[in-house]
Structure 1
């Protein structure tokens, strides 16, 4: 399907560029060339090869994975971006090659730090199912005093000093809102009026305490958007995943996912260290190895690289993300929880003792603490000091003897999804030219994999091929 009318000029420019780049017909080398060996490109290549098409994946970097990269340092496995996954992501089960992926879940819900204390917020498994006519948690939550409360790690200290979830009635309203969104099919959530998430939160019918102490920090962590300018449709999808699954990490590091995808492809399919300089509908030109002829091209790079290869393709804004990894010999937290700062007392949005969630990420006898800073971080000279001071408050322990292992900053870590946002942007630009990635869907691993499947199916349809059956579900570690 072509882009909507408002993108006609962009499509015309892309078509003109593609015709210019394709200066002469050439013999076909493969059926499809996929440009980019991140999660989206590798997943798309698997869908295509399983359908019987010969496929080549070209990657400029010396390794696969793109932003799902993991640095190995002295026995530690340090994710460069640290994106959170959910066990409820459908594409983790629909993508071939991921049946060997093991997910390490966090404790149910999240741990909130507020006013010097920890409070656990988790959706009770017995939460009632509300009617599917509900329009979403951010705008239509209604109070039911008899609804189950969100569980707390510690009791309220006094009626005048409620925790980050508010009082009992606030917790009932919040639990009911999450139950509503869990029971609403994602396609219904995508049909809601599209406004910024921050504006939707302001009129959602929940208490300010519940919104500011729980929903804002949770959504900021899930969306990597501290200002919550993200479309409330995408925010609702994030809450739906949270309410129906468990936040988790791939065992062994983020790069475990793309490496499994690459390993499932036929030998020789992926070629790293190959820079693509131009693309057309039947030709890909590389800097090192000349041209590759094909029947179709699928562009699966990041948003900026895609826009550089296809002038006229819209370049989104981005959310910067900085991840700091510390180690110590004594774990500062005795549970495998994602810890959010409900008070927003420093640059860290969320942190976790990652080695408790996934013991393979640290050598024996060492604890790995990974912390995420959203937005523009403090100056490099002050970043570690500011983070250590905040982590000392969050974990209730001294951090002066902690060792800083790495700081990873990516100014274009996550494509922004401001309102209005189309979470299913067209992946077929022209017959023979397709694009996929988290910038075409939602800026999550789920979005990247979903856009890959959409693009692969569009390409297969144009070439008269049929997708292969889905693989069996992946394993989730207890």
Structure 2
């Protein structure tokens, strides 16, 4: 009997960024694909809600201009990245501290020179200052301006700069060969001062990994710091959903089919709830980890980090710059916050200001009150006139990556059946895109096709 005609060479279940990335790699190689998505939109957790002209990301995932998959993935030529101001703004002991403003551009040699100069300054004899007899100036009660020096001494900052410069220059394969510990233990074992770890590295890694306790594998933490040291933190212009929508729009018409719920999968067919059965030569599961395990019992479901994003409209901007503000004291629920409309003006109507704040871990019961009180402390300004826009709580927002963590979990289950997503790589947009490319390469290898990828450079918005 003749074999039935296939609806497509490969059926992809899930229209998140990993599935869309895989579809582009397959289509470039001449493999026809169909993407089935149960939701009415693409992007999965990378979605944006529109409220009164504001664009509100459900999970405030930070991107980096150094992510290689943003250049390797076809379909992202039109993506513009809006960078934060260089360095970071850290709130500690009631003050703002400017940190890491130039660390990303330091070479290891320049960082070593700064370290030697700081050591010489620290060991130089101090000249006592003359005592002034004039009347003292009354103390000011207003918040002092942001300092030009980061937390810690000049020597501490030089050591941090040298460490990040070395990390930026280290090949990824060597980072992945390092001994693996929980990130908090690994940082302490590297000889960095506790003030530097608690005042800078912990809040930074909390923002990058959504893991305030730093239980994440030290290898994953090193990759996050490697990306930070080599690039700039940024947001996609227009909202997080712009990235998956660009990927979907660049695929052949009819490739993505939303509102289709898959109930069963096999190596050569997919069964849907209301649209019958599709036959194919291979099936790629590109859903989140829990949905993938429901379709293929036996797949491991990791634990997750919950994330809550609170959006407010402020009558006046609490900061004058597009800075990412981190909380080093951990005296309130907000881990990091930003005037997002300064970073990307398209996310707020003209004349209005969007402040987005991220709460890591289980949110407090009185979320609205405690968040506003904490934001008033972080920004040093009253927040009683701020208008709440939305609260997005995602209980299973980011897959946890405790050690030992396999950064390259297998994407090929058997010939004709594959799986991808941020739960197979690192729990970042970079990891999701990369796992999609790995899965597409596995499919192409089984089909006897040599995979390729593009090296086109991604434009950055001014």
User: 1:187-202 alignment to 2 at 5 Å?
Assistant: 187-202=173-188
Hey, what's the Cα distance between the residues in 2 that align with 1:415 and 1:346?
24
Who wins on radius of gyration, i.e. which is larger?
Answer: 2
| Equivalent of residue 58 in structure 2, options 76, 80, 93 | 80
Contact 2:72 2:453 in 1 (8 A): no
Hey, what's the Cα distance between the residues in 1 that align with 2:104 and 2:362?
37
Deviation at 1:155, TM superposition (A): 5.3
Contact 1:142 1:177 in 2 (8 A): no
Match of 1:177 in 2: 163
Is 63-72 or 459-468 further displaced after alignment? 459-468
Alignment pair present for 1:146 and 2:94: no
Aligned length, in residue pairs: 435
SS at match of 2:337: strand
Alignment pair present for 1:449 and 2:433: yes
Hey, what's the Cα distance between the residues in 2 that align with 1:187 and 1:172?
26
State TM-score, norm by structure 2: 0.91
| Equivalent of residue 93 in structure 1, options 65, 71, 74 | 71
Alignment pair present for 1:113 and 2:91: yes
SS at match of 1:429: strand
Deviation at 1:370, TM superposition (A): 0.1
Judged with a 3 Å threshold, the aligned counterparts in structure 2 of structure 1 residues 71 and 81 are, in CA distance, closer, same or farther, namely same
| Equivalent of residue 416 in structure 1, options 380, 389, 400 | 400
Judged with a 3 Å threshold, the aligned counterparts in structure 2 of structure 1 residues 40 and 142 are, in CA distance, closer, same or farther, namely farther
SS at match of 1:352: strand
Contact 1:182 1:243 in 2 (8 A): yes
* Structure 1: runs of 5 or more not aligned: 1-24, 132-140, 157-162
Hey, what's the Cα distance between the residues in 2 that align with 1:302 and 1:124?
35
RMSD (CA atoms): 2.0
Match of 1:400 in 2: 384
Is 174-183 or 359-368 further displaced after alignment? 174-183
The list of structure 1 runs, each at least 4 consecutive aligned residues, that deviate by more than 3 angstroms after superposition, is: 123-126, 141-145
Match of 1:9 in 2: none
Hey, what's the Cα distance between the residues in 2 that align with 1:326 and 1:446?
28
Hey, what's the Cα distance between the residues in 2 that align with 1:468 and 1:142?
42
Match of 2:285 in 1: 299
Deviation at 1:466, TM superposition (A): 2.7
Match of 2:132 in 1: none
| Equivalent of residue 108 in structure 2, options 129, 145, 151 | 129
Deviations 1:407-431 (A, max 9, x none): 0000000000001101111111100
Alignment pair present for 1:350 and 2:336: yes
Hey, what's the Cα distance between the residues in 2 that align with 1:374 and 1:145?
38
Contact 1:198 1:229 in 2 (8 A): yes
Deviations 1:287-346 (A, max 9, x none): 011110000001000010011111111100000000000002211100000000111120
Judged with a 3 Å threshold, the aligned counterparts in structure 2 of structure 1 residues 261 and 170 are, in CA distance, closer, same or farther, namely same
Hey, what's the Cα distance between the residues in 2 that align with 1:321 and 1:299?
24
Judged with a 3 Å threshold, the aligned counterparts in structure 2 of structure 1 residues 125 and 461 are, in CA distance, closer, same or farther, namely closer
Hey, what's the Cα distance between the residues in 2 that align with 1:34 and 1:146?
56
Contact 1:142 1:205 in 2 (8 A): no
Judged with a 3 Å threshold, the aligned counterparts in structure 2 of structure 1 residues 185 and 147 are, in CA distance, closer, same or farther, namely farther
Contact 2:347 2:354 in 1 (8 A): yes
Judged with a 3 Å threshold, the aligned counterparts in structure 2 of structure 1 residues 471 and 181 are, in CA distance, closer, same or farther, namely closer
Contact 1:111 1:339 in 2 (8 A): yes
Deviation at 1:125, TM superposition (A): 5.7
Match of 1:239 in 2: 225
Match of 2:136 in 1: none
* Structure 2: runs of 5 or more not aligned: 122-144
Match of 2:135 in 1: none
SS at match of 2:199: helix
Match of 1:477 in 2: 461
Contact 2:103 2:229 in 1 (8 A): no
